[in-house]
Structure 1
Amino acid sequence: MCGRMTMTHPTDAMAQLFEAAPANDLPEPPTYNLCPTQSVGVVVSGDGRSYRPMRWGFLPHWYKAMNGGPLLINARAETIAEKPAFKAAVRERRCLIAATGFYEWTKDEEGNRLPWYFSRPGGEPMVFAGIWQMWGKDDPVPTCAIVTTGAGEWMAETHHREPVVLAEDDWATWLGESGEKAAPLMRSSPGGYYQRWRVDRAVNSNRASGPDLIEPI
Structure 2
Amino acid sequence: MCGRYAFTLPSEAMETLFGVRNVPEYPPRYNIAPTQPILSVMRDESGARAAKLARWGLVPAWVKDPREFPLIINARAESMAQKPAFRDSVKHHRCVVPASGYYEWHRAPDGTKIPHYIALASGEPLPMAGLYATWMGPNGEEIDSAAVITVPANPDLVHIHDRMPAILDRADLDAWLDVRGTDAGTALAAIRSAPQGTMTAHPVSSRVNSARNEGEDLIAPVAVEKPSPDSDKAEDVKPVKPSQLDLF
TM-score class, shorter-chain normalisation, is over 0.9
Structure 1: tracts of 5 or more residues without a match = none
Q: Trace 1:156-175 onto structure 2 (pairs within 5 A).
A: 156-175=158-177
Q: Which moved more, 1:175-184 or 1:40-49?
A: 175-184
**C-alpha distance in 1 between matches for 2:200 and 2:86:** 30
Residue matched to 1:144: 146
Residue matched to 2:208: 203
Pairwise CA distance, 1:190? 0.5
1:34 aligns with 2:35: no
Pairwise CA distance, 1:99? 0.2
Pairwise CA distance, 1:23? 4.1
**C-alpha distance in 2 between matches for 1:51 and 1:60:** 20
1:214 aligns with 2:219: yes
Residue matched to 1:4: 4
- Is the contact between residue 12 and residue 22 of structure 1 (CA under 8 Å) also seen in structure 2? no
- Is the contact between residue 30 and residue 219 of structure 2 (CA under 8 Å) also seen in structure 1? yes
Q: Which amino acid aligns with 1:90?
A: V
- Is the contact between residue 156 and residue 200 of structure 2 (CA under 8 Å) also seen in structure 1? no
Residue matched to 1:99: 99
1:16 aligns with 2:16: yes
Secondary structure of 1:21's counterpart equals coil
Q: Trace 1:53-68 onto structure 2 (pairs within 5 A).
A: 53-68=53-68
Q: Which amino acid aligns with 1:202?
A: R
- Is the contact between residue 43 and residue 97 of structure 1 (CA under 8 Å) also seen in structure 2? yes
Instruction: Return closer, same or farther for 1:63/1:49 CA change in 2, 3 Å cut-off.
Output: same
Q: Which amino acid aligns with 1:107?
A: R
Identity across the alignment (%):
37
Q: Which amino acid aligns with 1:179?
A: T
Q: Which amino acid aligns with 2:39?
A: G
Pairwise CA distance, 1:153? 2.3
Secondary structure of 2:40's counterpart equals strand
Pairwise CA distance, 1:113? 1.5
Q: Which amino acid aligns with 1:36?
A: P
Larger Rg: 2
1:190 aligns with 2:192: no
**C-alpha distance in 2 between matches for 1:81 and 1:108:** 34
TM-score by length of 1: 0.93
Q: Which amino acid aligns with 2:192?
A: R
Residue matched to 1:122: 122
- Is the contact between residue 22 and residue 52 of structure 1 (CA under 8 Å) also seen in structure 2? no
Residue matched to 1:70: 70
1:45 aligns with 2:43: yes
Pairwise CA distance, 1:148? 0.8
Residue matched to 2:246: none
- Is the contact between residue 115 and residue 198 of structure 1 (CA under 8 Å) also seen in structure 2? yes
- Is the contact between residue 37 and residue 53 of structure 2 (CA under 8 Å) also seen in structure 1? yes
Q: Which moved more, 1:82-91 or 1:65-74?
A: 65-74
Residue matched to 1:108: 108
**C-alpha distance in 2 between matches for 1:85 and 1:22:** 30
CA RMSD of aligned residues (A): 1.5
